[in-house]
């Protein structure tokens, strides 16, 4: 079941004509939001990123689009599907006839899908991830590279490469060969007590979890720096983290011949869990 424009329908009933620009031209943006105990986590951050993305893509923004609107519609879908903990995907597509250039630019449509999780909590992965460096294609830094849009080929190809080579994820670089992100996550590199992540100018996704982690890092004694990261720095790192609003923090155990621990990653997850428990009691 999905929520399409306020109507609860089966996925196969999604009107193809309304959403064809998403499949034909990638003319769409989306947010993936974690639902925990019927609450959408970081909803304001997701909302403002969605609004910014729609403005950058010159999409018309309906007057009804407010954080409260999306929360209410997500709750309707959650009640219909009996899901309280899961992954909500909110897709917004420009609706118009035309080819590359839409004939009109005065309407968009949206729908939500909700995938159930077995746990409501962010958890520490007891076995670290195995990652590699993706060199087939590069991120071209700019406003578009920071958006969560349907133009996701580099992530698709990196994910396929990882699967073909028995890896959990791939690290992605920009056209200057600087590390920017992974195929489904932002990247943080820890050395001593300094935690680095690529600046937005280098091309990573403007991650919601990334934004919040930058604020949390000091609470576990870390200094955060948004600086360009040369992949050679990974050889000397103490820890490497992959982060997203869905998975939280996942620590990397192996990159090439290097092995890492995840002690600080575990400490951050424990901090986050305490914050969420307080939020849930309010």
Helices (runs of H) and strands (runs of E) counted in the chain? 6, 15
Domain ranges of the chain: 2-116, 129-281
179-182 and 186-191 beta bridge pairing: unpaired
Provide the residue-wise pLDDT of the chain in tens; the chain has 282 residues: 999 999 999 999 999 888 989 989 999 999 999 999 999 999 999 999 999 999 999 999 999 999 999 999 999 999 999 999 999 999 999 999 999 999 999 999 999 999 999 887 888 899 999 999 999 999 999 999 999 999 899 999 999 999 999 999 999 999 999 999 999 999 999 999 999 999 999 999 999 999 999 999 999 999 999 999 999 999 999 999 999 999 999 999 999 999 999 999 999 999 998 888 876 544
* Structure token pair of residue 53: 């993305």
Same fold, 2-116 and 129-281: no
pLDDT score recorded for residue 275: 82
- Alpha helices of the chain — where are they, by DSSP H? 16-25, 43-56, 67-81, 153-164, 208-216, 263-281
Which CATH number does 2-116 carry? 3.30.470.10
Task: Give which of 271, 258, 206, 253 is closest to 231, Cα–Cα.
Answer: 258
Distances (CA, A) of 218 to 1, 45, 122, 221, 276: 41, 20, 20, 5, 18
Contact present, 231 and 173 (Cβ < 8 Å): yes
Second-level CATH architecture of 129-281? Alpha-Beta Barrel (3.20)
pLDDT score recorded for residue 119: 81
């Amino acid at each position: 079941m999905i929520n399409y424009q306020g109507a609860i329908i089966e996925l196969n009933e999604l009107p193809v004509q309304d959403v064809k620009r998403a499949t034909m031209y990638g003319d769409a943006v989306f947010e993936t939001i974690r639902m925990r105990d019927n609450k959408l986590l970081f909803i304001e951050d997701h909302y403002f990123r969605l609004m910014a993305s729609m403005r950058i893509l010159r999409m018309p923004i309906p007057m009804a689009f407010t954080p409260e609107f999306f929360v209410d519609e997500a709750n309707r879908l959650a009640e219909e599907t009996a899901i309280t903990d899961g992954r909500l995907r909110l897709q917004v597509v420009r609706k118009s006839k035309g080819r590359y250039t839409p004939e009109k630019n005065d309407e968009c449509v949206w729908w939500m899908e909700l995938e159930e999780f077995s746990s409501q909590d962010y958890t520490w992965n007891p076995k670290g991830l195995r990652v590699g460096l993706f060199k087939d294609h590069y991120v071209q830094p700019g406003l578009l590279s920071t958006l969560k849009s349907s133009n996701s080929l580099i992530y698709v190809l990196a994910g396929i490469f990882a699967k073909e080579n028995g890896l959990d994820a791939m690290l992605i670089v920009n056209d200057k060969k600087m590390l920017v992100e992974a195929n489904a996550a932002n990247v943080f590199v820890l050395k001593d007590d300094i935690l680095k992540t690529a600046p937005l100018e280098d091309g990573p996704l403007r991650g919601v979890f990334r934004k919040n982690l930058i604020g949390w890092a000091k609470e576990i004694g870390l200094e955060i720096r948004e600086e360009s990261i040369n992949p050679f720095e990974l050889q000397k790192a103490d820890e490497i983290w992959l982060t997203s609003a869905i998975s939280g923090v996942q620590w990397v155990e192996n990159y090439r011949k290097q092995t890492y621990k995840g002690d600080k990653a575990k400490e951050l997850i424990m901090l986050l869990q305490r914050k969420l428990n307080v939020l849930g009691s309010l």
